Structures are given as C-alpha cells and as structure tokens.
C-alpha cells in the first residue's frame, strides 16, 4: 500500500472538469465580472473558466497553506498582498481543490475587505468534503476520502518532494540506490507512474540540491 494515497490527474481531466464546472456556474445564473485565481493551483482552472464563461478579467492572489506536496503548513498566509478596487463587480475565486479550505477562506475574507467587490463566490474543481472547513459555491467533484491529487502542473515538484520524503525514511536503512530501485520503491509508496522523464528530472534536482550524490549514471547515495 502507498504511504500517501495519490492519484495522477491528466491535462484532459482538467479540461473536462473545468468545462463541467463552468456549466454548473452558468446554470446558476452567476456571471462574474472578474475571476481571481488562487496561486498557484488555481491558475490553470481559472484561465479555463475565463474561456468557458467568456470572462476577460483575470487576477490572482497567493493564499498558501500547503508548503510542499501532501504536507500542510501551520496556517494559511497571504503572500505579496496588494489592493485593487472591485467596487460594483462580481468576483469568482477559483482554486484547483478545497482541502482544508483555509487558504480559500483567507483569500475570500481578504478580497471582501480590501478589494470591496459587490459579491464573491468560490469555485473549485474538487471539494474534499470530510475535511474541508468550507463548501465552495461551485465544485465539479466531491471527494469523500482524502487523497493527494497529483496535478499536471506540479508533476516534477511533487515527484521531487515525494522521493525526498521517501528517502528520508528509507535512507535510514539503505544509503545506496540504483535508479530502478528508486522507481520500484516510489511505486510501493505512492502507486503512481509519473513517467521516466519526470522521475529522472526529480532525481537530478535531488542531486543538485545536495540530498543525493551520484555514484555513477544510474546509482546514487543518500547523503547524511
């Protein structure tokens, strides 16, 4: 069994889910003047919703709770706060997934207080209902059991962090690893295949950052 339940999400999935989400928003009669993407996960679905809803105005705000893949920070924060005047406008805040919901709650409250729109609603591709502190106004998929969705725009970042976490534990007992051993162990932990290019790039990042040292082309040693 994988140590972290993980599901790969494809680009085709994202387009399909975003189109379905746009349909739900249209059916509700809500027409936003501005879409606000939650950076970083909300960028792609927000841009797709601009297309599907014919919304020209797109802003973003970085409200962050997850510091790395499947590892939550102590609290959500607004990074690089700024102000715009949205008086008289309807806003749709968009993120990829509502997990704890804390980053969305923080962003919503900040936008309402500092940007002063007439109305704010929230949309997300997925809503993890058992753990979320917020139910979005619109969502395409309700997730009833927690799982880490590995989106295509974080494929390398997540793979790097997942390998590092895996080796932080497994490296206590085994220091030298072949490339194939790393791939096999990765599948045991996460039960996903990210592809050879992403996996090799992630290994290279670990070497560059000093977490691994290279013995030869396909053999590595965990430092420390």
> What confidence tens digit (pLDDT) does each residue in 61-71 have?
998 765 554 45
Residue 111 DSSP class? I
> Do 6-150 and 153-222 share a fold?
no
State yes or no: pLDDT of 15 exceeds 60.
yes
* Structural tokens at position 117: 């729109």
Q: Which CATH number fits domain 6-150: 1.10.1040.10, 3.40.640.10, 3.40.1400.10, 3.40.50.2020?
A: 3.40.50.2020
pTM score, two decimals? Answer: 0.89
CA torsion, points 137, 84, 42, 154, in degrees to nearest 10?
-160
Q: What ranges do the domains of the chain cover?
A: 6-150, 153-222
Report the pLDDT value the prediction gives residue 77, as an integer from 0 to 100: 85
Return the CATH class of domain 153-222. mainly alpha
Report the pLDDT value the prediction gives residue 29, as an integer from 0 to 100: 98
63 touches 110 (CB < 8 A): yes
Report the pLDDT value the prediction gives residue 76, as an integer from 0 to 100: 77
CB contact burial 95-119 (16+ within 10 A = b; e otherwise): bbbbbbbbbbbbbbeebeeebebee
Cα→Cα distances 147→6, 100, 142, 206, Å: 6, 12, 12, 25
Report the pLDDT value the prediction gives residue 65, as an integer from 0 to 100: 66
Give per-residue pLDDT as tens, 177-224: 999 999 999 999 999 999 999 999 999 999 999 999 999 999 999 997
């Amino acid at each position: 069994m994988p140590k972290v339940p993980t599901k790969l999400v494809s680009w085709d999935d994202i387009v399909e889910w975003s189109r379905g989400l746009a349909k739900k928003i249209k059916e509700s009669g809500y027409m936003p003047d501005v879409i606000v993407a939650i950076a970083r996960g909300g960028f792609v679905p927000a841009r797709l919703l601009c297309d599907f809803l014919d919304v020209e105005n797109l802003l973003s705000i970085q409200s962050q709770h997850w510091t790395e893949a499947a590892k939550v920070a102590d609290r959500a924060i607004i990074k690089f706060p700024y102000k715009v005047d949205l008086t008289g406008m309807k806003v749709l805040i968009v993120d990829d997934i509502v997990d704890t919901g804390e980053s969305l709650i923080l962003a919503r409250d900040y936008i309402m207080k500092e940007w002063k729109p007439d109305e704010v609603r929230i949309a997300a591709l997925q809503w993890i209902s058992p753990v979320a502190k917020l139910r979005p106004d619109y969502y395409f998929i309700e997730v009833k059991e927690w799982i880490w969705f590995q989106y295509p725009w974080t494929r390398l970042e997540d793979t790097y962090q997942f390998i590092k976490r895996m080796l932080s534990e497994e490296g206590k007992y085994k220091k030298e690893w072949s490339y194939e051993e790393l791939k096999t162990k990765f599948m045991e932990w996460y039960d996903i295949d990210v592809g050879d290019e992403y996996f090799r790039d992630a290994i290279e990042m670990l070497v560059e950052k000093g977490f691994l040292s290279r013995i030869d082309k396909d053999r590595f040693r965990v430092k420390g």
